[in-house]
Amino acid sequence: MPKIEFDVIIAGGGLVGLSLALALESGGLKIAVVDKLEPVSMLDKTYDGRSSAIAYANMRMLGILGVKEKIQEIGKISEILVSDGRVPDGAKHGGSIGLTLHFDQGEITDSDEPLGYMVENRHMRLALDMVCQTKKNIVRFTPHMVTDFIENGAYVDAFLDNGQKISAKLLVGCDGRGSQIRKSAKIKTYKFDYSQTGIVTTVALEKSHNDVAFEYFLPTGPFAILPLMHNRASIVWSEPPSKAIAMSKLDKNDFEIEIQKRFGDFLGKVSVVAPVFTYPLQLELASKWYIKRVALCGDAAHGIHPVAGQGFNLGLKDVAALAEVILDSHSLGLDIGDEITLEKYAAWRRTDTMMVAASCDAFVRLFSNDFGPLRLLRNIGIGVVDAFGPARRFFARHAGGAIGDLPKLLQGIPLS
Ligand SMILES: Cc1cc2nc3c(=O)[nH]c(=O)nc-3n(C[C@H](O)[C@H](O)[C@H](O)COP(=O)(O)OP(=O)(O)OC[C@H]3O[C@@H](n4cnc5c(N)ncnc54)[C@H](O)[C@@H]3O)c2cc1C
Which of 40, 50, 296 has most ligand 1 atoms within 8 Å of its beta carbon, as the pocket-test mutant? 50
Contact 170, 7 (CB under 8 A): yes
Q: 412 alpha carbon to ligand 1 midpoint, in Å?
A: 24
pLDDT above 50 for 88: no
Q: At what angle do helices 56-64 and 311-331 cross, to 10 degrees?
A: 50
The mean of the pLDDT values for the chain is 89
| Residues 309-347 pLDDT 10s | 999 999 999 999 999 999 999 999 999 999 999 999 999
Ligand 1 atom closest to Cα of 315?
26
Percent of the chain with pLDDT over 90: 72
Q: Which residue, judged by its Cα, is nearest atom 17 of ligand 1? A: 312
| Torsion on CA atoms 332, 337, 338, 339, rounded to nearest 10 | 110
Q: Under CATH, domain 4-72+118-190+282-369+402-411 is a member of which superfamily?
A: FAD/NAD(P)-binding domain (3.50.50.60)
Q: How far is the CA of 372 from the centre of ligand 1 (A)?
A: 36
Compute the distance from residue 48 Cα to the ligand 1 centre, in Å. Answer: 10
Q: What's the pTM value of the predicted model, to 2 decimals?
A: 0.93
Query: Which ligand 1 atom is nearest residue 198's CA?
Result: 1
pLDDT of residue 393: 62
Bigger pLDDT: 110 or 285?
A: 285
Atom of ligand 1 nearest to the CA of 15: 25
Confidence check: pLDDT of 248 > 90: yes
Ligand 1 centre to CA of 411 (Å) is: 24
CATH 3.30.9.10 residue window(s) in the chain = 75-117+193-281
Please give the number of the atom of ligand 1 that sits closest to the Cα of 303. Answer: 19
Tell how far the Cα of 315 is from the centroid of ligand 1, in angstroms.
9
Q: Kindly indicate the confidence band of residue 388, based on its pLDDT and cuts at 50, 70 and 90.
A: low
* Lowest mean pLDDT segment, chosen from 24-33, 328-337, 390-399: 390-399
Name every protein residue with a CB atom under 6 angstroms from any ligand 1 atom: 11-17, 34-37, 50, 52-53, 145-146, 174-176, 180, 198, 200, 236, 279, 298-299, 306, 309-313, 315
* Residue predicted with more confidence, 392 or 59: 59
CATH 3.50.50.60 positions along the chain are 4-72+118-190+282-369+402-411
pLDDT digits (tens, 9 = 90+) for 92-109: 554 445 567 777 777 665
Q: What is the CATH code of the structural domain delimited by 75-117+193-281?
A: 3.30.9.10
The predicted structure's pLDDT at residue 68: 98
pLDDT digits (tens, 9 = 90+) for 267-287: 999 999 999 999 999 999 999
